[in-house]
A = this chain, B = another copy of it.
Amino acid sequence: MKRTAYRLEDIVRRFGGQLHGDGDVIISQIATLDSAQAHQIAFLANSKYRAQLETTQAGALILGAADADETSIPRIVCANPYAYFAKLSAFLNPQPQAQAGIHASAVIGEGAVIHSGVQIDANVVIGEGAQIGANSIIMAGCNIGARTLIGENALLYPRVVVYHDCVLGNNLIAHSGVVIGADGFGFAMEEGRWLKIPQIGRVVIGNDVEIGANTTIDRGALDDTVIEDDVKLDNQIQIAHNVRIGAHTAIAGCVGIAGSASIGKYCRIGGSAGILGHLQIADYVEVSSFTLVGKSIKERGSYCGIYPFSSTQNWRKNAAQVRHLDELADRVKQLEQQLEILKK
């Protein structure tokens, strides 16, 4: 692909920041400090890695004020180098734009409404009465259920499945293998057999949501499963029926969220964490990777439940003691009592 190139000065004019050094440097791409070459711009988001400034071959840099004088390479000095990098990279590497048209092999259900500028690729199936918002891209092999509504500027990568009667907002990005609206896990036991409980709620997703590859979001049992605006979900996350995830919350890969849990706004959940059903998590809560949240969290803050690993040899000794912790605590209590008697 031929890349468009920009003068550093023009970049500053467009995105702000202070220009230090030669504004005529030509920039066509972003790269890391380690790998950047003459026509690439790199960034330093953390002064801890400042030493890399000495060896980088980058043509230009994005820096915070604290690092502005640590190099003579042409540079943009700004308040939030990471956000600056994000915006500049999005400019240099724009998302795919819809090429309006419906591939001959696509199957469009009766009464479906395909708005203007929509791109529908090979082997896509759109259910009866579904709607696809303007300028959306539905890539090959996606399957959109009956009466499901998808907003504008959505980008569905190949083989996304959305079941019937769901509502998805504008600017959605859903990666391959995502399944939205499958049945929640609901059964009643009667006379030794399971009875299936029909899952008649929907999945309702706000605007500006991104959903990673092979993530699953189940439809509600009776009421809806709700993902609010600007939520970012990584790969292989499982979201059970009737979960609610507050706006701007970001969840890392492999997290499991059990039924009817409610997560606040601006939360950050680490990879492979779990959240039990029917819990409430406040806004601005951070949960570490691999942590099971087993009760509601009412205060914002950082929470953790990671237990240490070690060499298998050491682990055997320590983990075995966990089985005797209650007994150990009892023994300490008895020692304290006996010592009190002795002291008297």
Contact = CB atoms under 8 A, between A and B. Distances in A.
Interface stretch (A67-75, A111-119, A182-190): A182-190
A328 B266 CA distance: 36
Contacts of A323: 308, 310, 314, 318
Given A159-B161, A218-B235, A222-B35, A182 B176 contact: yes
Given A143-B158, A274-B271, A305-B315, A223 B32 contact: yes
A6 interface: no
B332 A86 contact: no
A51 interface: no
Contact of A305 (B189, B308, B339): B308
Q: How many copies does the complex hold?
A: 3
B308 A288 contact: no
A335 interface: yes
Contacts of A107: 103, 105, 122-123, 140
Contact of A179 (B35, B122, B175): B175
A280 B202 CA distance: 39
Given A35-B222, A307-B322, A141 B159 contact: yes
A92 to B, nearest CB: 8
A19 interface: no
A323 B317 CA distance: 9
Nearest to A274: B272
A197 B292 contact: no
Contacts of A185: 212, 232, 234-235, 250, 252-253
A190 B80 contact: yes
A132 interface: no
Contacts of A302: 311-313
A183 B179 contact: no
A136 to B, nearest CB: 17
Nearest to A80: B190
A282 interface: no
A26 interface: no
Interface in A143-193: 143, 157-159, 161, 163, 173, 175-177, 179, 182-183, 185, 187-190, 192-193
Interface in A92-113: 92-93, 95, 103, 105, 107
Interface in A273-312: 274, 276, 286-294, 301-312
A248 interface: yes
B338 A214 contact: no
Given A89-B200, A343-B342, A309 B304 contact: yes
Given A157-B161, A194-B248, A304 B310 contact: yes
Given A83-B189, A175-B183, A271-B274, 11 more contacts: A107-B140, A143-B176, A256-B271, A256-B272, A272-B292, A294-B308, A302-B311, A305-B308, A322-B325, A331-B332, A339-B339
| Top-4 shortest CB links A-B | A305-B309, A317-B326, A321-B325, A93-B198
